[in-house]
Amino acid sequence: DFLPRFKHFATHAIHTGQKPEQWSSWAVVPPITLSTIFKQRVPGDEEEYKYTRFGNPNRHVLEKVVSALDGA
């Protein structure tokens, strides 16, 4: 990353997970994902997200933020 580490808790909480290149739309703020199931591009290949109970983009960002704030 080209930015220095954040010194303050609130700044860290706001900016963690805010990388536009992780989204196909390049959204700066993580989009809210309302889908419960996700398209499988190739039959038999595991996708990162397949069903919301097993994970989705919103939960993934939340996990990153909580992990970063915990110092992991």
Q: Please identify which residue in the block is written with the tokens 């992990």.
A: 67
Locate the domains of the chain by residue range. Answer: 9-69
Q: Say if residues 23 and 32 touch (Cβ distance below 8 Å).
A: no
Q: Please identify which residue in the block is written with the tokens 């996708």.
A: 47
- Residue 13 confidence (pLDDT): 82
User: Which pLDDT tens digit goes with each residue over 18-71?
Assistant: 888 887 778 888 888 888 888 888 888 888 888 888 888 888 888 988 888 887
Q: Can you say whether the dihedral through the CA atoms of 12, 17, 18, 19 is positive or negative? A: positive
Q: What's the pTM?
A: 0.66
Q: Say if residues 15 and 25 touch (Cβ distance below 8 Å).
A: no
